[in-house]
Structure 1
Amino acid sequence: MRVLITNDDGIDSPGLAALARGAVAHGWTTVVAAPARESSGTSAGLTAAEDDRRVQVERRELPGLPDVPAYAVAAHPAFIALVASQGAFGDPPDVVLSGVNRGANVGRAVLHSGTVGAALTAAVNGARAMAVSLDVGLELAEPHHWDTAVAVASTLFDRLAALPVGAVLNLNVPDRAEVGAPVRAALAEFGAVRTRIKDSDDGTIALAAILVEDELEPGTDAALLAGGRPTVTPLRSVGEDPDVEVSL
């Protein structure tokens, strides 16, 4: 299998390199292409091109991966997944792995995630894809258990590769040294951490991440993850909804 590794935390994220090392260890032909800088919250946005409609790409070498082609791209992760499907970084990938993201991607808010947006974009362009996230909560300082997330993701690699083209999995892993096997979970209405407006008094809008005090719905990805279980949720990409009737 030919795999593309991308993310929305940027080319220098330790989670990106960890996931790439996991793909190489699994025996997959691996290429890394990730945003040159932080691109969180970009969903499936394609904004990237400068005035001359060209996107800058810089060759990089990632820690522990001297033989893996790696590129820092001045673009959002969904853009990278799109152009990868058209041969921008060699042959189009069979699988796209997006992550390991610094922070969980659970609940309906996955709509806004650049990590998930890259996976969804890859899926509608001929690949199978998995978004991988580590639940660091509000503790953004290193170290984190990136290898734990990769170990859990690796147990799903062969099953992902066997899924039909267009399949998307969303994996979330607790930030612990040891965790159990992933369990399938429904999307929650909201996660344990939410973004709120802090103030908007000076012509700007300041955001803050807060812990949700409401009880999380049992059986959902947010609740199971908060309880220390890795969760995996198959996601449906863009498509027609046969259940909606429109009279014209």
Structure 2
Amino acid sequence: MRILITNDDGIKAKGIYNLAKVLSEHHEVIVVAPRGQRSACGHSITLWEPINIKEETLEGLNVKAYSISGTPADCVRIGLDKLTGPIDMVISGINRGLNVGTDVIYSGTVSAAIEAAICNIPSMAVSQEISKDIEEYDVACKYVLKVLDIAKDKYMKDDVVLNLNIPLKEEKDIKGFKIAKIGKTTYTNKYIKVEGKEFKETYSVEGTMDERNYVDDDVYYVKQGYITLTPLHYDLTNFKILKEVEGIFNI
């Protein structure tokens, strides 16, 4: 397969390097990633300034690689149009941190995969839980290959994003694999005043995830030690209440 790899942590991130290394042993890989950190930029695209492209070398890897001055969604758009030629699949990641629950709305990693789906290319977003002291991607890479092997034979949907999340555990301690719906994640945010050079009111944000008691969703299962896979789609219509709303707003 010809696979375009991107991310939102930047071209120099450990996660994308490990993913490119493993996938390039089995597939043709082209890396197109942001030049710097673009986490939580969502599905933003660059409109009012030029996007520049720089060819990069990923040490020890025999892959074509490019850094882009724009966002993860830009990487997919300009990569497909100018850099890669025909692509069988887009894989975004491996993200430094989980993308579960409503975090998928903010995630540049997931948004890059959604952009691929909008372009009618099968895609996967991959995220690995980390801690302050541990950032390892071996287990995630193994499960990317497992999911990819099944997907290419049985489930290459050009409008579906497969959102894969891996808990921070050794492979022997993984409890299993769950197909799960997305849950709801909320945060208690603290805006802390910092010294600003230009503006008087300058703040940085620190957030902690709120405790919750939901079950049977991706947030719950990852916390229990399961790897989760969630099919996502860019159509945000709530079909369960479509008829209900239609009956109320009968204008």
Using the size of structure 2 for normalisation, the TM-score is 0.86
Identify unmatched segments of 5+ residues in structure 1.
Answer: none
**Identical counterparts, % of pairs:** 30
Map residues 57-76 of structure 1 onto 2, 5 A cutoff.
57-65=53-61, 67-76=62-71
What is the one-letter code of the residue matched to 2:205? L
> SS of the residue aligned with 1:33?
strand
CA distance change for structure 1 residues 182 and 9 in 2, over 3 Å: closer, same or farther? same
Q: Which runs of 4+ in 1 moved over 4 A?
A: 239-242
* Residue 2 (structure 1) aligns with: 2
Q: Distance in 2 between matches of 1:61 and 1:49?
A: 29
For residue 84 of structure 1, report the CA deviation from its aligned partner.
2.3
> SS of the residue aligned with 2:109?
helix
Map residues 124-163 of structure 1 onto 2, 5 A cutoff.
124-136=118-130, 139-141=131-133, 143-161=134-152, 162-163=155-156
Indicate the RMSD between aligned Cα atoms, in angstroms.
2.1
Asked which structure has the greater CA Rg, the reply is: 2
Q: How many residues align?
A: 236
CA distance change for structure 1 residues 219 and 64 in 2, over 3 Å: closer, same or farther? farther
Q: Distance in 1 between matches of 2:119 and 2:190?
A: 35
Using the size of structure 1 for normalisation, the TM-score is 0.87
What is the one-letter code of the residue matched to 2:23? A
What is the one-letter code of the residue matched to 1:190? T
* Residue 42 (structure 1) aligns with: 41
* Residue 197 (structure 2) aligns with: none
What is the one-letter code of the residue matched to 1:126? N
* Residue 94 (structure 2) aligns with: 100
- Residue 81 of structure 1, aligned match among 76, 80, 93: 76
Paired residues of 2:101 and 2:218 also in contact (CA < 8 A): yes
Q: Distance in 2 between matches of 1:195 and 1:39?
A: 22
CA distance change for structure 1 residues 71 and 180 in 2, over 3 Å: closer, same or farther? farther
Paired residues of 1:225 and 1:231 also in contact (CA < 8 A): yes
> SS of the residue aligned with 2:83?
coil
Paired residues of 2:185 and 2:209 also in contact (CA < 8 A): no
Paired residues of 2:16 and 2:94 also in contact (CA < 8 A): yes
For residue 30 of structure 1, report the CA deviation from its aligned partner.
0.7
Q: Distance in 2 between matches of 1:195 and 1:168?
A: 29
* Residue 237 (structure 1) aligns with: 234
> SS of the residue aligned with 1:62?
coil
Paired residues of 2:4 and 2:84 also in contact (CA < 8 A): no
